[in-house]
Amino acid sequence: MKLIVGLGNPGDIYAGSRHNIGFSLIKALAKSHKILLKNDRAAFSLSGKGQIESQNIILAMPLTFMNLSGEAVKSLLKRHRILADDLLVVCDDLDLEFGRLKIRPGGSSGGHRGLESVIGSLNNTKFARLRIGIGRPLQSRNSAEYVLGNFTREEKKEIKQIIGRASECCLVWLKRGVTEAMNIFNGIGKYKILSSTTRKSQKVIVESDFLVKKFERGSE
């Protein structure tokens, strides 16, 4: 069983904000893979169980506020007996160019309060995290106000493609692991169109599957 958690803040006032792009990704994955998200009060989250890429998976959105995300993640791991090695946390990142993806197998919080809470609650930095770049505001604008604000009209035109790439990244993580996901998606910015990324990631996966199946047939 694997767990993908998208970080964000609950409530209509925060819906669609930059800080809630992790929630947007979970909703997109749940919709495309027909996974129903339900209120799980024991784990302080909305979560749903299903299958993606032949993997048993739980998708979750903490209903705690961002700074307390770790409480929900810890409860989800304990409730479903999932190890940190099988956890992927998705969040926004001010220090990445808008639309750029960065997935890593572990590390510090990088100043992100949600990741900081997860690390603190688990007492562990060794879990995968996917950061989605939202870019930094102009110098005249407060960072806190910026992350809690909505995307601009121009940015909204690109969100669907960005969520699409991030979803693909999650699928590669599920099927092939974090190293393969890093090789394919890290460094891909907003100027790489979704179709190009799709072809590249699918090509790697299809070729890998073909070689594995060919080897298995030869061993029979």
Q: Which residues are catalytic?
A: 19
Q: State the pairing for strand pair 38-40/45-52.
A: antiparallel
Cα angle for residues 201, 166, 47 (degrees, 5° grid) = 125
Q: How far apart are CA 202 and CA 60, in angstroms?
A: 25
Count of beta carbons in the 10 Å neighbourhood of residue 32: 12
DSSP E strands, the chain? 2-6, 38-40, 45-52, 55-62, 87-93, 101-104, 128-133
Q: How far apart are CA 170 and CA 38, in angstroms?
A: 21
Q: How far apart are CA 92 and CA 60, in angstroms?
A: 16
Q: How far apart are CA 1 and CA 173, in angstroms?
A: 13
